[in-house]
Structure 1
């Protein structure tokens, strides 16, 4: 796994993993778990806690639970069979097994794929229990009614944390199924950690952005998988991807897709190596240079008799695809070098070497990770924070090949996956870790501890800054002792919804109350009516200087007697003041309030945002809150 591993406190937690459906730009993946995986062995674990009310029965292709997997249910309320799935909690896709083991997998020595990333694979909290609630299906996706039913079951069963890697859908906070279900979980003391979606790098693409959800972006770790390509002219270039094939360093004839096209094919379709455009007699025994149109080009070339594929793409190359034949991916500039070489000699040749693991600087935000600003509220910074989500090695299902492509005969107990789905369980594990030390903390308190203790990330490396990484990279060990927390109850969220313009009747339907009178809840509140660990101000570009007031209250969870002094970091053109500038505490759980005033002019259209921060420093703790100012277009 990608974070340094940490053990749970004595309290053994139950983690509900309601996994998984995700929009990965090209494909869908579906949920479940593989109970026979070594990652879910229960050695050293006693019976489930007495509070546990969940159940686990034998299902089709599902061998049952143990003291690690203590609950397994599936939800398909329409009861219609799925021709590509099994009515069972079993994982036919690998995504659910991967995310579950990332969060709570037991240690498995000598885990690897093709010799890459070899070592002991273990989840963030190996001693945690797992309850799986399968809500997504191969053919029909994830129905709102199934998500809602699964959340209610998890709440009833007694879970402590819900980690849900379902992304790509956004909507009203009082109508979106995940927002509604996670609100109910919050009211029952359960924090929901959710993936932020894979719609990046487009701005405003972040999903699961309700304030009571901990929304996770994906970051890269300090390794990358590259496959070198040796050209016949002696030049070696580097591509990205996971290719486990030993080519014995033999040079093969190299051609472009246009060179091996059918006489009836257009140059465009041949350049992209469309299956119906390639002549099998021309491609046989060759390596082929293709532009990327759809995933699985390596499968097309192999099926037609080719040896392998060099795939050129204009996409960001920060995560590695797994190939079913010798292949690698290169950027457009490198693709032009290859094409020039092909047409500079009568007998172009090349070899694609087996993938190698290389070190790269980290962390950085994944190109695919969804960005802010929050489409649901201009006052709320989302995503909340980032965690490892690129090329994560974790457990896999035996029911699907590594690529899922026709003809692929590669199967493995472990594989690499990338996505905010992979980042989400890392933070779910951190939430469980914090809760094991502080079992009585509210979901908001746990969330605050994780956010204010995060490690800041560089806006030079990540140009979208807080819209990409939120508060920064998750830091598990510091989250246990944050010093101060920004705590909230459900009334704070109700005030937020009123402030955002939701009607009293719509909020009442969310909380199951007869009525909500927003006019009695709003007077005296600040800019965002929420005691959130971050602050965000949006400005209209045509306006002059704007002033925003943020009122916050912190609770002392550090040493009983402590003093915190404020440090303000204001970006150019923004004035930030805090009052008071010092907070003095004489006992544990004591609360202190302060006010932050932000004065700013609209940012130039060439800039995305201006990043500032408020730090409360004591002799032992630094409690950090980003302050973000950004300009929005006119309506």
Structure 2
């Protein structure tokens, strides 16, 4: 499947049916010029993007795609790639509530809980009967919604009761599967529904905007009230991720069609917890999410994206377009803990949701065996270390606690199932080097715990886990026990950056700092689908209404929910203004007032958290914002591609590239520049006043080896909407700079507001 991208449409923001037909016919005309007839063109076209995005997806041979690419009216032609999903207490941790109470300065009160914002979720669908999406107590659907009652859930094609699954909360549901089916074959008609059989979409949508739902637990842990960031917002589900097993695939052609519909339906926010795993330089113009987000932002829709789960290495961040809001993942101050006793003398903390091991007088402790020692003779040590299928010998495992190593994934539940199949009484999953000290609580099918082998420096991991030992000499004398899980809150320090969270700098355009922000993405409790198990494994018979999940998939909807609040509170603000408000009020400190650290106990940098950890209450009143419009993004595209020809298609009106444009001067809330050695760096920014009249004074935290000067160093505003431009001058302090990235910050403060931008050189 190829996507042929043609830019924007000339028919304006409110196309008629004739406009849509005309756009589709133009797509057929273009393709017919290559294939030889309209009939062949219609047969090949999978989607005609005819509303706000101009282009089409079609089944083409490589040489046919090459011919189309040479057409002067074509922006780009690219293969439709398969994306992956980037897969409670967090709102208390973010300050929206305190011990179950909501203060008057909470963003929830100020923004009426996101009332009547419309949040779209591009994901694996929704479980519509869940109480998180009940329409009880809601008024009429906002008039801005143009979804026309579309509710594609369960036999919607023929059922006269098709719309009963949607209501005044869940106001729409659509499916997009043509690209998935073209690759993997037709889905069962019963599965052609927006109903969620994976769980991911239900979890993310409820995190963004689920109703207040009291008395929520998972296996008796985490008791409290679940709710989304904008609990009174309306929601719409756009199902773009499908699965015939436990692994979902989300295809670009389907995603781009969903963007086109969501924009046309009148949504305010689009949440996309998915993306590719390998950033590449052409991604701005050959990436479905980047293209869809550009057209959404041009129509005043905020697009929030997950940064990816490919950390901790550098240049792993995805969804890096400057018009997208890219979210990293970090911890909250809650943990689910079992106490692990090793050999009766060492006690280690393990993250767990389990009820523990039987503790009767006759069976208090259990022998422990490492998976390497438990392997079949024909299994490799490497495969056995990670408890991969068909590596464990039940005769060695039965009745013991099995020790596995995490395979740097955001879930290890499959390892727990292998342990259970082999007859283990429990499983201990030890973090690999890439996971650091991050402990993930997971719904294993048997008692299980996630552990950091380096927590107790007095313990030799090789000895007590039997790594490389023999069943006779080591593991038989190693006995262990685990207690039932207990929920603790107020954990310090928090947040900590997750090891899996993808890092910057951006491999596409390093002058745009990515990710933009970090938000809770570890051990997140939210609604779940009853159409799948908590493990997503077909062999798991369990069904639960709430589940704990990890990933930037979980942090993304946290931000989408907060964006929904700001949309309600400040309906006239642009997507860039909302993004700026959140970024410039973020914190780089944890709850001990120290710099945020990562899972490896190192001080984190903006390449990990962007502008910092989100603070929604402060974001409602940022004082100043760094605003951007479509023209600014077009200038950015000019400087990125150096192609005037490319630009003529993006806008509904003609646009001419400036003779020179410096990407470093894009009015972004963060500041990133190239190190120019001994040469002085001079960039500009413009701030817009969104608060009361006042004077702001500049304060700089100087990056190592550099001095920061701001001209002018004070700005006086007399009215809302007033703009002021300033220069940031960076000079080498003394010796030639090392060439390694260095970090600082710029703050504007008037005594009531602090407007902070990270500086990266």
**Aligned-partner SS, 1:184:** helix
| Counterpart-to-counterpart distance in 1, 2:622 and 2:120 | 26
Which ranges of structure 2 fall in alignment gaps of 5 or more residues? 1-87, 97-107, 157-163
**Aligned-partner SS, 1:131:** strand
Q: After the TM superposition, which residues 593-604 of structure 1 pair with which residues of structure 2 at under 5 Å, given as runs?
A: 593-600=725-732, 604=738
Q: Which residue of 2 aligns with 1:537?
A: 673
Contact 2:206 2:227 in 1 (8 A): yes
**Aligned-partner SS, 2:697:** strand
Give the superposition deviation at 1:149. Answer: 1.1
| Counterpart-to-counterpart distance in 1, 2:380 and 2:514 | 45
How has the CA–CA distance of structure 1 residues 598 and 500 changed in structure 2, closer, same or farther, with 3 Å as cutoff?
A: farther
| Counterpart-to-counterpart distance in 2, 1:439 and 1:266 | 59
Give the superposition deviation at 1:556. Answer: 1.2
| Counterpart-to-counterpart distance in 2, 1:487 and 1:447 | 9
Give the superposition deviation at 1:44. Answer: 1.7
**TM-score w.r.t. structure 2 length?**
0.75
Summarize deviations over 1:326-364 as a string: whole Å, max 9, x none. Answer: 122333446434235984585543223322233342112
How has the CA–CA distance of structure 1 residues 277 and 450 changed in structure 2, closer, same or farther, with 3 Å as cutoff?
A: closer
Give the superposition deviation at 1:239. Answer: 2.4
Q: After the TM superposition, which residues 512-523 of structure 1 pair with which residues of structure 2 at under 5 Å, given as runs?
A: 516-518=655-657, 521-523=658-660
* 2:284 is equivalent to residue 173 of structure 1: yes
Match of 1:569 among 674, 684, 701: 701
| Counterpart-to-counterpart distance in 1, 2:427 and 2:222 | 24
| Counterpart-to-counterpart distance in 1, 2:584 and 2:166 | 37
Summarize deviations over 1:506-529 as a string: whole Å, max 9, x none. Answer: 233344666x542xx144x55523
| Counterpart-to-counterpart distance in 1, 2:663 and 2:377 | 65
Match of 2:175 among 70, 74, 79: 74
Q: Which residue of 1 aligns with 2:301?
A: 190
Match of 1:350 among 480, 504, 529: 480
**TM-score w.r.t. structure 1 length?**
0.90
Contact 2:387 2:415 in 1 (8 A): yes
Q: After the TM superposition, which residues 31-110 of structure 1 pair with which residues of structure 2 at under 5 Å, given as runs?
A: 31-54=124-147, 55-57=149-151, 59-60=153-154, 64-78=165-179, 80-82=185-187, 86-110=191-215
| Counterpart-to-counterpart distance in 2, 1:61 and 1:301 | 39
Q: Which residue of 1 aligns with 2:630?
A: 490
Match of 2:419 among 284, 290, 301: 301
Q: After the TM superposition, which residues 196-595 of structure 1 pair with which residues of structure 2 at under 5 Å, given as runs?
A: 196-248=307-359, 250-265=364-379, 269-293=383-407, 295=412, 296-314=414-432, 315-318=435-438, 319-333=440-454, 335-339=461-465, 343=473, 347-358=477-488, 359-457=491-589, 459=595, 461-462=597-598, 463-511=603-651, 516-518=655-657, 521-523=658-660, 525-526=661-662, 528-539=664-675, 544-559=677-692, 561-595=693-727
How has the CA–CA distance of structure 1 residues 247 and 405 changed in structure 2, closer, same or farther, with 3 Å as cutoff?
A: farther
* RMSD value, Cα: 2.6
| Counterpart-to-counterpart distance in 1, 2:403 and 2:202 | 34
* 2:235 is equivalent to residue 117 of structure 1: no
Summarize deviations over 1:65-92 as a string: whole Å, max 9, x none. Answer: 0110001111123455336992111111
Hey, which of these two has a bigger chunk of helix by percent?
2
How has the CA–CA distance of structure 1 residues 419 and 362 changed in structure 2, closer, same or farther, with 3 Å as cutoff?
A: same
Number of residue pairs aligned between Structure 1 and Structure 2: 609
Summarize deviations over 1:409-443 as a string: whole Å, max 9, x none. Answer: 33211111111111111111111111111111111
